[in-house]
Structure 1
Amino acid sequence: MSDIDIQRETWATRAGFILAAVGSAVGLGNIWRFPFQVGQEGGAAFLLAYLLFIVLVGFPAMLVEFVVGRHTELNPVGALRAVGGGTWTYVGWIFIATGFVVLSYYSVVAGWTVRYAFLGLQDGYLADAAEAEAQFVSLASGLDAIFFHALFMAVVIVIVALGIQQGIELAVRLMVPAIVVITLGMAAYAFTLEGAGEAYSYYLSPEWGLFLTEWQSILPAAAGQAFFTLSLGMGAMITYASYLGEDQNLAEDGAIIIGFDTGIAFIMGLVVFPILFTAGIDPADPGAGAIFVSLAAAFGDLALGWLVGFVFFTTVAIAALSSAISLMEVVVSYVIDERNVDRKIAASVVGAAMFVLGIPSAYDLVLLDLIDLFADQILLVLGGLLLMILVGWVLPDLAVDELSRGIGDLGALAPAWIWAVRIPVVVVLIVALALGILEYYEFLTGEFAEWIADQ
């Protein structure tokens, strides 16, 4: 090992690693995307499919990233070079590119959540949906969006620059418990709303006929959400596992992380749907408008809605921050490991570059969609797919040996895990990649082409 390998930082405690991984997974995908994807895909039918894929896809894939990270104790590029070498090294570069690109616009969206939290303390939220949409359009782009993008990115830079133990671990020890406590408190409040009964029926009582008529939509969406919500495919779990300094039980840690992540997503559904049903708003409204238009309009229609909205958007902002630091750490770890750059300088330069790349996303929503679809639907899935192929089909013995550290003889569980990676996980990712490429092509020839023509 080189000197920089020997001096590499580690987590101070096992709890620190678990909380950091939970914080990475619990972000906008959980608190924003999950409830409204449930709404789009028919409620409880999607919820059941999602829970199924968490077990079949999410858990096996998370263990793959864990074993690669801990075995190599390196960033994604160094890790793929060490275990695969040759062309496989470029898979590591896909992870670096994904983390870099995703955080550039993720910071813009996170900046919106900060802006909307302040909005509750200032003018409140507009109950009229049309006015709420106009307000969102005015706040989501331009100088206002760039300012909050810069503010959010600056906080991420500071936390990552402080290091693993004094920065990231300390931050998640504060943020993750806060997310859990506030989410539970909001769920208790939502239980008292008049629309709670109807909302729970929608969320928890599946219409079995939907599995027969809408399975082609529900199953890919549930599988994709299970993969994306756990921060897989972007190198975050490889990077976080690379800082493990002892032989921990990775399967047990993974189960705890997935339990927390899935639990918070589930509870957020218990928060969002009663609010929407009480305000008489369709839970199936998709996209950015789901949280910044529909839900904001619902807050405007509730008694003390300004306070509820402030608490909600503050929670979303905290969750976004806990995910953002993991995305920046993916790139910063590469700069430190491969270029021997001081952490504070690495975090500052990487953060500044991400801010600059994010300016177009803060300038126009169409440009944000352009970058988001490419990173989220193509880069992220492609990197994850190639890693699963490498570990499942090329390096299964190495993976099993690494996973057994801290566990002991895996017995029949070893081939079960490997075959889960080889078949269900790989197939799901191939389908998700094909659908993502098709969706991106349709966007380029549709909405983006119209935007270009109007410029």
Structure 2
Amino acid sequence: MARETWATRTGFILAAVGSAVGLGNIWRFPFVTGEGGGAAFLVVYLLFVALVGFPAILVEFVVGRHTDRNPVGALIQLGGDAWKYIGGVFIVTGFVILSYYSVVAGWFIRYFLEGFRGSYAGHLEGYEAAAAEAGAPAAELMFGDLSTGLFAFVFHTIFMAVTIGIVALGIRRGIEVATKAMVPAIIILLAGMAVWAFTLPDSGAGYEYYLSPEFSVIADNWTTLLPAAAGQAFFTLSLGMGVMITYASYLGEDRNLTKDAGTIIGFDTGIAFLTGLVVFPVFFSAGITEPGEGGAGAIFISMTQAFADISGGHILGLVFFGTVAIAALSSAISLLEVVTAYVIDEKNVERWKAALGMGGVIYLLGVPVTYDLIFLDLLDLFADGILLVFGALVLMILVGWIAPNFAVKELSKGIGDLGSLGQAWIWVVRIPIIIVLIVTLALGIVDYVDFLTGDFAGWLDENL
């Protein structure tokens, strides 16, 4: 079956940026930054992106372009049949992340549509009596009501159906066309909201929280900041999940991979940073000074409360939740493309059948998340703290130690003779990046075991 390619460089860049800037930047980045103490987390995150993310994305690019295959086929071609199981980790990661990602995206669609039914302040008024009785914020009760149940299931269904439809159309007619429209819209809308947030009263406190790091906090909390920053960096750059391998497999050999990688990381990091310039001034202007509280629901709880309390919040809420829904779709299609490409390449199945079949299985895996959010934590912590890092680690080992010669040669295509820079890149991959990933994986496993023996065990005791 003939393999598709990107029609233009812009199409590839925007598709890769679209994969990177979705929920990882706008849903996940603010609450992870809040949990990490604001600016302290931001410093560690930016260092991780620059020192680990850039060399790592080049590894995925050279593997994908050199093999012209999905992650499983690519690793078999480079390392032999035994590596198909490692390649399978990337497929599993895409399955797991997209299953709950779709549910979260459905929440943003629901909040966006709720804005057309009235102001967010008006919605919260309906929860005030129950909130007073429960001793909880009205926005928290609203999130609890909207995040699970029938409508959560319905919007999960709608979002997955749209995602499947775009991927089924193919690289040029589906993914490339969609991301060319979505990514510029995301950037323009976020930039406009950041300018508006600057005008809010007390926004200065939000900027101070976000932009003024206390380095003593980093020194005292590095064991939690490192895995959180690593997981966020890999999540938002779509590393360790096979997306960049798959997207690069549709590239021609004349492309400068370092230039493309720098462009993609620049856009992704810039959009994540821009999101913080929107969210934290809004939080502090509305009197929300603990942005990390609430976990996965933090952005919904805090932003809804903020939109209810600030001037113009109704319109801003519509724009914000609508922007995130668009961003979520741009990432979701990349995740589904990974597993779809695997079925097309390895099983010789037609694209529409592969997209529908794989999308259907992923959809079913996400259904429990619409019942109880404990399943989101179960899947997210496993994917973010373990699968992503493990996938990246074994790929670094393969390229850095087992097959380094092809990598330098592949990277030089479209650039020219790399000289000592090629070997320097390989040694960065071989030692510091692998060490960081091993430490990060160990810390992630510890965190996940703590969750299983703590929160999840408690939930099982209460519900079984």
- Distance in 2 (alpha carbons) for counterparts of 1:212 and 1:111: 38
Counterparts of 1:365-376 in structure 2 under 5 Å?
A: 365-376=373-384
Could you say which residue in structure 1 is the equivalent of 2:131?
A: none
Q: What pairs with 1:404-443 in structure 2 (closer than 5 Å)?
A: 404-443=412-451
Matches of 1:119 and 1:220, distance apart in 2: 35
How far has the Cα of 1:293 moved from its partner?
A: 0.8
Alignment of 1:8-47 (within 5 A): 8-47=3-42
Structure 1 residues 199 and 34, CA gap change in structure 2 (3 angstroms): same
Tell which deviates more after alignment, 393-402 or 30-39. Answer: 30-39
What amino acid maps onto 1:137 in structure 2? G
Match of 1:315 among 311, 323, 327: 323
1:169-215 per-residue CA deviation (whole Å, 9 max, x = no partner) reads: 00000000000000000001001101222221222222233233333
CA shift at 1:412, angstroms?
Answer: 1.8
Cα distance change of structure 1 residues 10 and 175 upon mapping to structure 2, 3 Å threshold: same
Aligned equivalent of 1:81: 76
For each residue in 1:198-243, what CA deviation from the matched residue of structure 2 results, as whole angstroms up to 9, or x when unmatched?
2212222222332333333333432332222101000000000001
Cα deviation, residue 431, structure 1: 1.7
Matched, 1:54 2:62: no
Deviation, 1:117, is: 0.8
Query: Which shifted more, 412-421 or 390-399?
Result: 412-421
- For structure 1, the residue ranges without an aligned partner over 5 or more in a row are none
What residue number does 2:301 align with?
A: 293
Q: CA deviation at 1:255?
A: 0.1
Larger mean CA deviation between 392-401 and 378-387 belongs to: 378-387
8 Å contact from structure 2 (residues 70, 345) kept in 1:
yes
The C-alpha deviation readout for 1:299-350, integer Å capped at 9, x for no partner, is 1111221211111111111111111000000000011111111111111111
Q: Which amino acid aligns with 1:201?
A: E
- The alpha carbon displacement at 1:38 in A equals 2.2
Q: Aligned partner of 2:322: which letter?
A: T
1:271 is the counterpart of 2:266: no
Q: Which residue of 2 aligns with 1:352?
A: 360
Deviation for aligned residue 1:138: 1.3
Identity of aligned residues (%): 65
Match of 2:132 in 1: none
Q: Tell me whether 1:206 sits opposite 2:199 in the alignment.
A: no
| Alignment deviations for residues 241-262 of structure 1 (CA, whole Å, 9 cap, x no partner) | 0011342000000000000000
Q: Which moved more, 1:163-172 or 1:286-295?
A: 286-295
What amino acid does structure 1 have at the position aligned with 2:457?
Answer: A
Tell me if 1:168 matches 2:163. Answer: no
Answer yes or no: is the 8 Å Cα contact 1:56–1:424 preserved in 2.
Answer: no
Could you tell me how far apart the structure 2 residues matched to 1:28 and 1:229 are?
8
Q: Which amino acid aligns with 1:241?
A: A
Give the distance between the partners of 2:357 and 2:224, measured in 1 at CA.
41
Greater CA drift, 172-181 or 190-199: 190-199
Is residue 312 of structure 2 the alignment partner of residue 304 of structure 1? Answer: yes
**Alignment match, 1:398:** 406
Q: Name the counterpart of 1:218.
A: 225
CA contact (8 A) 2:227 2:444 kept: no
CA–CA separation in structure 2 for the residues paired with 1:433 and 1:205: 29
Q: State the partner residue of 1:101.
A: 96
Match of 1:343 among 342, 347, 351: 351
TM-score for both structures, normalised by structure 2: 0.94
Could you tell me which of 254, 257, 261 is aligned with 1:254? 261
**Residue type of the alignment partner of 2:184:** P
8 Å CA contact 2:197–2:281 kept in 1: the answer is: yes
Q: Which of 153, 156, 162 is matched with 1:155 structurally?
A: 162
Q: CA deviation at 1:286?
A: 4.6
Say whether the 8 Å CA contact 1:220–1:428 is kept in structure 2: no
Does structure 2 retain, via aligned residues, the 8 Å contact 1:121–1:307?
no
Q: Secondary structure at the match of 2:137?
A: helix
**What amino acid maps onto 2:160 in structure 1?**
M
TM-score of the two chains, using structure 1 as the length reference: 0.96
Indicate the larger mover: 204-213 or 435-444.
204-213
CA gap 1:99/1:220 in 2 versus in 1, 3 angstroms: closer
Equivalent-residue separation in structure 2 for 1:142 and 1:341 (angstroms): 35
Structure 1 stretch 155-164 or stretch 239-248: which is displaced more?
239-248
What whole-Å deviation, never above 9, does each CA across 1:56-95 have from its counterpart, x for those lacking one?
A: 1000000000000000001111111101113212111111
Work out the CA distance in 1 between the residues paired with 2:140 and 2:40.
29
> CA separation in 1, counterparts of 2:371 and 2:221?
37
Query: Which range moves more in the overlay, 11-20 or 197-206?
Result: 197-206
Which has the higher mean CA deviation after the structures are superposed, 302-311 or 123-132? 123-132
Match of 2:188 in 1: 181
Q: Could you tell me how far apart the structure 1 residues matched to 2:72 and 2:376 are?
A: 27
Give the drift of 1:106: 0.8
Q: Distance in 1 between matches of 2:97 and 2:292?
A: 25
Distance 1:218 1:94 in 2: 25
Q: Does structure 1 conserve the Cα–Cα contact (< 8 Å) formed by 2:294 and 2:301?
A: no
Asked if the contact 2:115/2:318 (under 8 Å) is kept, the reply is: yes
Worse overlay, 72-81 or 369-378? 369-378
8 A Cα contact 1:57 1:227, kept in partner: no
For structure 2, the 5+ residue unaligned runs are 129-135
* Alpha-carbon distance between aligned partners in 1 of 2:317 and 2:429, rounded to the nearest angstrom: 41
CA contact (8 A) 1:142 1:363 kept: yes
Q: Quick check: 2:94–2:336 contact (8 Å CA) kept in 1?
A: yes
In angstroms, what is the RMSD of aligned CA positions? 1.4
One-letter identity of the residue aligned with 1:47 = L
SS in 2 for 1:193: coil
- Give the equivalent residue in structure 2 for 1:124: 119
Aligned equivalents of 1:192 and 1:448: distance in 2?
43
